[in-house]
Amino acid sequence: MRQHLNEKYLSLRNPICVTQQNCSYGALIQIFLLFLLLMPVSMMAQSTKTFTVNMTGDESDPNANDIGDDGKCDVDPITMGDQCTFRAAIQNQNGNRNLGQNRITFAIPNAPGTGSIVIKIGSTGLGALPPILGSVAIDAVNNDGRRIELDGSMAGGGAIGLRLLGGGCEISFFVINSFSSHGMFISGTPPPGEGGHRIQNNYIGTDFTGTVAKGNGGDGIFIDNTPGSIIGGTGIARNIISGNEGRGINIQGLDSSQFGTNGASNNLAIGNLIGLDISGENALPNKGDAVVLNNAPNNTIGGAAPNEGNKMAGTTSTNGVTVTGSFTEGIKILGNFIGENKTGAKFKVGIAASAKPITIEGNVITDIVGVGIDLFVKGDGSYNIRKNSINGNMTIGSKLRFGEGRNVQMMYQNNLHTGNGMALDVVESVSGKIDWIFAGDTLKLGQAGANFIFHAAGNKDFSNGVYQGNAGVAFNYVADLAPGVQMALRAKADAYTGNAGGARTGKVVLKAGTEFSYALLGSSAVNNGKDGDRLDLFADANVIATLTAMENRFAFNGGGGLRWISDGKNLVTVRAFIEKDIFEKNVLGGLEVTSFLTEKSILDNTVIDNGGPGILINGTTIAHLEGNTISGNGIGILVNDAATASINNNTITANGKGIAFGGTGTGSPLIANTIFKNTGLGIDLGNDGPTANDAGDADAGPNNLQNFPVLTAVSSNGGNTSIQGTLNSTPNTTFRLDFFSNDACNPTGFGEGQAFLDSFKVTTDASGNAAFNAILTGITLPAGAVVTSTATDRNHNTSEFSACLQNGNVETADLELTKKADKAQYTVGDPVIYTLLLTNKGTANAPDVVVTDLLPAGIMFKQATATVGTYDNTTGKWQVALLNSGQQATLTITGTANVAGTITNTAEVTASKLPDPDSSPGNGISTEDDQSSVSVQVIQQQPDVAQQYRALMQQITALVNAGRLTPREGRILNGIVAISLALENRGQIQPAIFVLRVFIVLVRNATQRTRLTNVDRNALINAAQKIINELRAMPLRQSSATSDSGIEEWKDLESRARKELMGEAFIRTYPNPFNSYTVITFDVANESRVQLNVYDVNGRMIATLMDKVMQPGVQTITWQTPDLPAGVYLLQLRANDAVTTYKVLHVRE
């Protein structure tokens, strides 16, 4: 063991080997030390001294003086030889400190034990050791290779292990434990001290093995306003500072309010194990923070070279490194391992710093309960947080806050966040200027990525970040800027992948006079759960905001690719530029812009295979779209609300619809686009399918629902093409007509615009009509080519595509109309159903068809349903925007007959854009096939049944007047009779009979409170039964399928009648029939004793299910019948004097 320890600690005993572990000069140094020991005393008279401790006691040297003592360490001058204790060695060091750096060595013979050699400080009653003055090198390894252990358990209150009050000391190999105060105290007399000490390979707060905590009562090492000390080193030069009641390393300086000079600077703590055992894996935490720097500027904790970082563990109430005070500039926290251990002990905060410019670099921060890096920025200058690894499920990875009015450059670069609750939480100060360089950072697998709240002016530059697999939003920000602030937020070459809450979300609030710019460049947002990039902007007056997205890729996101949404205010100063981006397979759509002025700035994008609209323009946006490729989307371009867009030179193909306008915006020109192979309309004004032209084009809607041209003939001859047709629109107005050629017609029969042919101008007359024959010189169409056209007015409103017309064709539509009623005879009050069938037997699709069918007097309109188009009952017009060749359309009109007699209804086609070979719309000629009539007979209802109803109601009223029914009972019974009469009037005979049967049951069982005599009761029952017999003799005028429609009208009345007349009522017995149980539900009108018994058909009681006093209300009981034989049973409910019996059927499986 002795040889092993000497070899192990050789490099520390030779100062040259502190930074060079493989020292080749060890033998020379040993020879040199031996030479010093053998040198004659006369030669060493004025040189430094070496004091060798040779006993474990704690006695003092009586001859040791402050300066100039006898130079001999001897606690017992009477006894032969020198008896030198460690206390005496310190005394002699202090007396000879004027000589330079002396040495204290240990050569204790025959020391007991096999581990460390223990010196019990205070065992002689002298208390703590004296402070060490001057400069001394203490190598606390005995000559047999055993460490020296200073045990302070007997040193008394306030005792410190070692007090260094001089400068330039080298303290190594001690085991210092069990002192009531600090393990080691470094200061001056008075502070600031000289400092410059080197403290290496000491165990402070543990036993000699470095595995068992034997803590000191204060800090492990306390540096009091003293500079320049080195605590630890690489490899075996490190200290173990663990198990102490206070902090691990505590460096304290003076603040500006204290008298004196701040000297707590340029200290270095490297390679130490703080709060860990010798293995560096198991926690032996100090009860205070691992490292504290208070008013201690320009100190370094850790280092950038290999193995220079300290390794720290702690508790959930302590921090790894704490920086506080008014003097905190120049601090460096480098390469430390904070929180990593196998025993699971966790710090509350990894690094907590309230500091002026600071560098936090290369640290590994893990196993933290709260925050990895908690930084409050309180000074101007550059802050560097770089290359840190912040891992584990801590609440926040990095939390940054800022003091007001600061001018700060924040360098947050190449940090790795993994598995944090929130990787980054930043709130800027309201005032000041904060510039960000956020580059190369990775935020992954956490609950949320970055959360920024920007308030301050400055450039916020983010680049080359990786945001991956976070459960929340990868990058969330709020920019809430004070008036007059200028801020730029830029993200370049960032990658956002697999974040469930979305890639980027932002909210920007701009006050008057602010300037804000946003740029997302060369980044990618792929496979995120929500939007790729969403920004909501709210702007006051007098702001300038510019948003740019360029050369980004948004793909496979669960929301939209890009969504920029403004509150619609101050559009002139809010601009958006979206250029050369890729939007692919996003669930809700490619890109959305709401209430922005985009000028000429949605350019050259590729928008493909998105679930919703490829491009969505909302709000009050004024947009310009050009050069985009838009394919495979739910809708290619959707313009909503009051937005307008100039849409030019785009390729729009294979979408659900090409371009749809769903709002009220006007003035959107569509010029020279390539639109083809879309499933729906190529251009859809109103986003509701083909919109029929209206006479004079006075209707309102998107692009004013501009009427489209009607093409009547297309032919190609002599190298030219002639296109003939008409346009009906605003009177006395010039229009631009654009003509297109297509390989095939759109499935709707309208459009599209695969290849632009030419444009042609026409002017309408005073009636709004213009006929045209456009000669397209030098253009020849192939056989079978399909031609379409659009019209654009002088206010830039472009129409939908016209109906298709094939080259060489003249369009005709043969419209045939038939009409019938559901039967020939009705009674007044009956529903009358008319069915109109419109058929296009022509070769061409018929646009803008109008059928007029205004119901005649005697038939009151109720509802109408059309398979194609819409019906307006006030005008009687059925408008069909397009009826394809061979297609049929049906209109069903339902009315009510309210006048007896013969009623004739006539319908006619009154408008069509194409000629009909055998009829003319609206000419009133009944022999043409576009007109059809039907006559029906309406008779008056037999009066005798109604009279019987009235007689019954008069009987009830008479009983009320005689006092044998209460007014409430009378109202209820008359109400039931009135419901039955109403059902009969509507022809619902079976429901009317059913209601009268209920009336009879109620009257028959009305025994609880009414004063009816049997004569009264029988008279009412007989009158109701007579009406039932009359109803049975009537022809059934309503199918059973509709007879239930009136039942709901009397259910509530029936329930109230049961309570009022009978006192109780069954509500439901379900199921019935039943095989193992049934649920019985009944209501009780008043507080009653309720008995519920079960009898078989022979009157024998089977069971008593209930016998108790119950409060009013609905009651439920379940009757379990596992062993009950199959058969009919009677349920008897007795409530006070009222008895009700119901039958139930029990079956066996």
- Per-residue model confidence as pLDDT tens digits over 475-503: 999 999 999 999 999 999 999 999 999 99
3-class DSSP state of 306 = coil
Torsion, CA 776, CA 779, CA 785, CA 790, rounded to 10: -40
Is 722 part of any domain?
yes
Which pLDDT belongs to residue 1036? 54
Which pLDDT belongs to residue 811? 67
Token pair of 140 as six digits: 């606390």
pLDDT at 193 over 80: no
Does 1102 or 789 have the greater pLDDT score?
A: 789
Is 490 part of any domain?
no
Does 332 or 190 have the greater pLDDT score?
A: 332
pLDDT at 8 over 60: no
Residue 209: C-alpha distances to residues 148, 239, 248, 312 (Å): 12, 13, 18, 18
Is 660 part of any domain?
yes
pLDDT at 1030 over 50: yes
CA dist., res. 704 & res. 503, Å (int): 39
Q: The domain containing residue 972 runs over which residues?
A: 945-1033
Is 221 part of any domain?
yes
pLDDT, tens digit, 9 for 90 and up, residues 13-28: 333 333 333 333 333 3
pLDDT, tens digit, 9 for 90 and up, residues 53-81: 999 999 999 988 777 667 799 999 888 88
Is 3 part of any domain?
no
pLDDT, tens digit, 9 for 90 and up, residues 401-416: 999 999 999 999 999 9
Mark whether 901 and 929 lie in a shared domain.
yes
Token pair of 791 as six digits: 């019209």
CA dist., res. 1129 & res. 408, Å (int): 90
Does 1067 or 629 have the greater pLDDT score?
A: 629
CA dist., res. 853 & res. 313, Å (int): 88
Does 1139 or 368 have the greater pLDDT score?
A: 368
DSSP string computed for 642-696 = T-EEEEES-EEESSSEEEEE-SS-----EES-EEES-SS-SEEETSSSPPPP-GG
Mark whether 794 and 892 lie in a shared domain.
no
Which pLDDT belongs to residue 539? 87
CA dist., res. 47 & res. 32, Å (int): 15
Q: Can you tell me which residue has the tokens 């600061």? A: 406
CA dist., res. 180 & res. 1140, Å (int): 91
Neighbours of 418 (CB within 10 A): 19
3-class DSSP state of 67 = coil
929: enclosing H helix or E strand: none
Which pLDDT band, with edges at 50, 70 and 90, does 319 fall under? Answer: very high
Residue % of the chain over a pLDDT of 70: 91
Mark whether 113 and 177 lie in a shared domain.
no
Nearest Cα neighbor of 271 from 327, 318, 310, 224 is 310
3-class DSSP state of 90 = helix
Q: What is the mean pLDDT of residues 840-853?
A: 84
Strand partners, 864: 893
pLDDT, tens digit, 9 for 90 and up, residues 121-144: 999 999 999 999 999 999 999 999
Which pLDDT belongs to residue 799? 97
3-class DSSP state of 1041 = helix
Which amino acid is located at 1077 in the chain?
A: Y
pLDDT, tens digit, 9 for 90 and up, residues 548-573: 999 999 999 999 999 999 987 776 77
Nearest Cα neighbor of 815 from 868, 778, 773 is 868
Neighbours of 741 (CB within 10 A): 20
Does 506 or 1061 have the greater pLDDT score?
A: 506
Nearest Cα neighbor of 552 from 527, 575, 579, 531 is 579
Helix orientation angle between 967-985 and 989-1004, rounded to the nearest 10 degrees: 160
CA dist., res. 485 & res. 543, Å (int): 10
Which pLDDT band, with edges at 50, 70 and 90, does 342 fall under? Answer: confident
Q: Phi and psi (nearest 5°) for 1057?
A: -70, -40
Torsion, CA 571, CA 572, CA 574, CA 579, rounded to 10: 110
Neighbours of 1068 (CB within 10 A): 13
pLDDT at 628 over 80: yes
CA dist., res. 612 & res. 586, Å (int): 8
Which pLDDT belongs to residue 6? 31
Is 1055 part of any domain?
no
Q: Is 800 exposed, middle or buried (0-12, 13-18, 19+ CB in 10 A)?
A: buried
pLDDT, tens digit, 9 for 90 and up, residues 195-214: 999 999 999 999 999 999 99
pLDDT at 870 over 90: yes
Is 1042 part of any domain?
no
Report DSSP state, residue 97: G
Q: Can you tell me which residue has the tokens 């016998």? A: 1107
Is 488 part of any domain?
no
Which pLDDT belongs to residue 1035? 62
Mark whether 907 and 992 lie in a shared domain.
no
The domain boundary, picked from 889, 904, 939, lies at 939
Which pLDDT belongs to residue 814? 86
Which pLDDT belongs to residue 30? 43
Which pLDDT band, with edges at 50, 70 and 90, does 12 fall under? Answer: very low
Strand partners, 606: 582, 629
pLDDT at 1011 over 60: yes
Mark whether 896 and 967 lie in a shared domain.
no
Q: What is the mean pLDDT of residues 610-629?
A: 94
Strand runs labelled E in 718-858: 720-728, 734-742, 755-763, 769-776, 786-792, 805-806, 815-821, 825-827, 831-840, 846-852
CA atoms within 13 Å, Cβ hemisphere of 244: 37
What is the count of structural domains for the chain? 7
Strand partners, 425: 399, 451
Which pLDDT band, with edges at 50, 70 and 90, does 1043 fall under? Answer: very low
Which pLDDT belongs to residue 571? 65
Mark whether 199 and 334 lie in a shared domain.
yes
Mark whether 512 and 638 lie in a shared domain.
no
Q: Do the Cβ atoms of 989 and 1036 come closer than 8 Å?
A: yes
Q: What is the mean pLDDT of residues 630-649?
A: 95
In total, the chain counts a number of residues equal to 1149
Q: How high is the mean pLDDT of the chain?
A: 89
Q: Is 461 exposed, middle or buried (0-12, 13-18, 19+ CB in 10 A)?
A: middle
Mark whether 691 and 839 lie in a shared domain.
no
CA dist., res. 235 & res. 307, Å (int): 7
Which pLDDT belongs to residue 1149? 64
Which pLDDT band, with edges at 50, 70 and 90, does 35 fall under? Answer: very low
582-584 and 606-608 as β-strands: parallel, antiparallel, unpaired?
A: parallel
pLDDT, tens digit, 9 for 90 and up, residues 947-986: 888 889 899 999 989 888 888 888 888 888 888 888 888 8
Which pLDDT belongs to residue 14? 37
3-class DSSP state of 5 = helix
Q: Kindly report the CATH number assigned to the domain that includes residue 618.
A: 2.60.40.3580
Q: Do the Cβ atoms of 197 and 167 come closer than 8 Å?
A: yes
Which pLDDT belongs to residue 33? 39
Q: Do the Cβ atoms of 275 and 314 come closer than 8 Å?
A: yes
Which of 594-603, 793-802, 864-873 is predicted least confidently? Answer: 594-603
Q: Kindly report the CATH number assigned to the domain that includes residue 833.
A: 2.60.40.1530
Which pLDDT band, with edges at 50, 70 and 90, does 166 fall under? Answer: very high
1125: enclosing H helix or E strand: none
Give helix then strand counts, H and E, for the chain. Answer: 9, 87
Which amino acid is located at 900 in the chain?
A: A
50-53 and 117-120 as β-strands: parallel, antiparallel, unpaired?
A: unpaired
Mark whether 269 and 301 lie in a shared domain.
yes
CA dist., res. 803 & res. 845, Å (int): 7
Q: Is 1015 exposed, middle or buried (0-12, 13-18, 19+ CB in 10 A)?
A: exposed
Which pLDDT band, with edges at 50, 70 and 90, does 91 fall under? Answer: very high
Which pLDDT belongs to residue 1014? 87
Mark whether 277 and 339 lie in a shared domain.
yes
CA dist., res. 220 & res. 203, Å (int): 9
Which amino acid is located at 603 in the chain?
A: L
Which pLDDT belongs to residue 168? 96
Mark whether 887 and 985 lie in a shared domain.
no
Q: What is the mean pLDDT of residues 509-535?
A: 96
Q: Can you tell me which residue has the tokens 């576009």? A: 930
The domain boundary, picked from 759, 785, 807, lies at 807
Which pLDDT belongs to residue 36? 40
Max mean pLDDT range (388-397, 712-721, 1131-1140): 388-397
Q: What is the mean pLDDT of residues 802-822?
A: 86
**Which residues, 6 or more positions from 341, have their beta carbon under 8 angstroms from its beta carbon?**
276, 281, 282, 283, 313, 367
| Greatest distance between any 2 Cα atoms in the chain | 153
CA dist., res. 452 & res. 479, Å (int): 8
For the entire predicted model, the pTM comes to 0.69
Q: Phi and psi (nearest 5°) for 1081?
A: -120, 130
Which of 248-252, 310-314, 576-580, 1072-1076 is predicted least confidently? Answer: 1072-1076
3-class DSSP state of 424 = strand
Q: Can you tell me which residue has the tokens 């100190």? A: 299
The domain boundary, picked from 920, 939, 958, lies at 939
pLDDT, tens digit, 9 for 90 and up, residues 414-437: 999 999 999 999 999 999 999 999
3-class DSSP state of 695 = helix
Residue 916: C-alpha distances to residues 690, 907, 909, 913 (Å): 21, 17, 11, 9
Mark whether 883 and 991 lie in a shared domain.
no
**Which residues, 6 or more positions from 65, have their beta carbon under 8 angstroms from its beta carbon?**
95
Which amino acid is located at 1056 in the chain?
A: R
